Amino acid sequence: MTAFRVPADRLRAAVAPVLPEGATDDDAALAARFAAGAWTVLPEPGDAAAGGMRAALGDEGALALLVDGASPAAWLAALDDPELGALLPAALQRWTPRLSAERMLSAFAQAAAFGQRLVMPGDAHWPAQLDDLGPHAPAALWVRGDPAALARAGRSAALVGSRASSGYGELVAAQLAGGLVDRGLAVVSGGAYGIDGTAHRAALASGGTTIAVLAGGLDRLYPAGNEALLQRVVETACAVAEAPCGTPPTRWRFLARKRACMRQSGRGVIVTWVPRWAARARAVSFTKRSMNETHPFASASLTDGSLIPSSRTASNASTSGSVSCPWAMWCLIFSHSFRRVLTMLRDQCALGLPRPAEIE
């Protein structure tokens, strides 16, 4: 018996070592997980065509058509969606060069070598808020560390920002991270130099949970200068990636990583030191390109001591003033649904946030 032209014994040998705790290991479940993992290999993260076809046909159905070399007519008949069908020719050109059973099996083998787990929708620890990304949602997540830490991401905030950060920006990021941990929230960030690394360090120093969302495969904890820090994150919680082992970080994958980072937590702050006009442009660009313009998310940029919201932020959510002043009002954390904007008075350099029970 074969599935996707892979013998059943090879498929089981590849998938079984990356099963998260409690996952079903019958042949049908293993084939479904193999298909989900394959869809992390074939497209780039956030590929709307892949997401649309997986939603229409299922991971296994879409992969089977691809492996069988189905004709465009067969795809169109199965999809029954002209708009999605229009994306098909370009999508097949992107995916076909990566279509190799050995490449997919290698992704599982390398993940097992680094002790990773493949978490997919329906698993106990799947971050359900990622499903809000619609066709841009990942098919699965590669997890290095404890997948149970993902469950804590439901009460978390993403804290990301500039790699070329100032000392002032890092100070504020550390205070933000420490304040979030004090109030029972996990901190999600991207593991990069600057603000991201500061957020992870501050969360760890405060005894909290911090999760790293990386732009490349988890066989390489990138950047190398933060390897020791990321190893601590893995040991205390987990690092996650949409891309399989062997995938290098690229500019586009960094943008896709930040989108997953923000949506995984549902709340977020972007901290940067660039001039005011550039901060606004960067916030708008990030919101449009990384959040795909279909899921509003307020993003704020720290400039010369002020928090400048993006153009999509509610008008009453804007206030300026140096964050170093104890009387300054901050607009920091935004509910992704805009039902509540959390604004609190800064008090003695501590992040003022409602207690966990008050956060939607």
| CA neighbor of 111 nearest in space, from 277, 205, 246, 10 | 246
Q: Does a structural domain hold residue 306?
A: yes
- Whether 35 shows a pLDDT value over 50: the answer reads yes
HSE-CB for 180 with a 13 A CA cutoff: 33
User: Which amino acid is located at 28 in the chain?
Assistant: A
How would DSSP label each residue in 296-318? ----EEE-SS-EEE-TTS-GGG-
Q: Which helix (H) or strand (E) holds 160?
A: strand 156-161
DSSP 224: G
Query: What is residue 156's predicted lDDT score, i.e. its pLDDT?
Result: 87
Residues 75 and 204 in one domain: no
Q: Does a structural domain hold residue 203?
A: yes
Residues 158 and 291 in one domain: yes
The pair of three-digit structure tokens given for residue 287, joined into one six-digit string: 């919101």
Q: Does a structural domain hold residue 354?
A: yes
Domains: count for the chain: 2
Compare 135 and 358 and report the one with higher pLDDT: 135
Find the mean pLDDT for residues 37-59: 96
Query: What is residue 291's predicted lDDT score, i.e. its pLDDT?
Result: 45
Residues 259 and 175 in one domain: yes
Of 124-128, 254-258, 309-313, least confident by mean pLDDT is 309-313
Q: Which of 2-6, 274-278, 305-309 has the highest mean pLDDT?
A: 2-6
Taking each helix axis from N to C terminus, what angle separates 48-67 and 82-95, rounded to the nearest 10 degrees? 70
Q: Which domain holds residue 166?
A: 149-209+253-358
Residues 92 and 164 in one domain: no
Q: Per-residue confidence at 202, pLDDT binned at 50, 70, 90?
A: very high
Residues 199 and 332 in one domain: yes
Of 49-63, 94-108, 174-188, least confident by mean pLDDT is 174-188
Residues 189 and 272 in one domain: yes
Length of the chain, please? 360
Q: Per-residue confidence at 269, pLDDT binned at 50, 70, 90?
A: low
CA separation for the pair 149, 143 (Å, rounded): 10
pLDDT in tens, 138-162: 999 999 999 999 987 778 888 888 8
Q: Per-residue confidence at 261, pLDDT binned at 50, 70, 90?
A: confident
Compare 238 and 277 and report the one with higher pLDDT: 238
Q: Which residues fall within 8 angstroms of residue 80, CB to CB, at 6 or more apart?
A: 56
Q: Does a structural domain hold residue 313?
A: yes
pTM: 0.81
Q: Which domain-ending residue is among 51, 82, 105?
A: 105
Q: Which of 96-105, 259-268, 337-346 has the highest mean pLDDT?
A: 96-105
Q: Does a structural domain hold residue 343?
A: yes
Residues 41 and 97 in one domain: yes
Q: Does a structural domain hold residue 21?
A: yes
Q: Does a structural domain hold residue 257?
A: yes
Residues 167 and 18 in one domain: no
Residues 16 and 92 in one domain: yes
Distance of CA 11 to the CA centre of its chain: 27
The pair of three-digit structure tokens given for residue 176, joined into one six-digit string: 């933000």
Residues 191 and 290 in one domain: yes
Q: Per-residue confidence at 165, pLDDT binned at 50, 70, 90?
A: confident
Average model confidence (pLDDT) across the chain: 79
Find the mean pLDDT for residues 74-85: 92
Q: Per-residue confidence at 265, pLDDT binned at 50, 70, 90?
A: low
Q: Does a structural domain hold residue 307?
A: yes
Query: What is residue 310's predicted lDDT score, i.e. its pLDDT?
Result: 32
- Whether 286 shows a pLDDT value over 60: the answer reads no
Find the mean pLDDT for residues 299-320: 34
Residues 153 and 261 in one domain: yes
Residues 42 and 170 in one domain: no
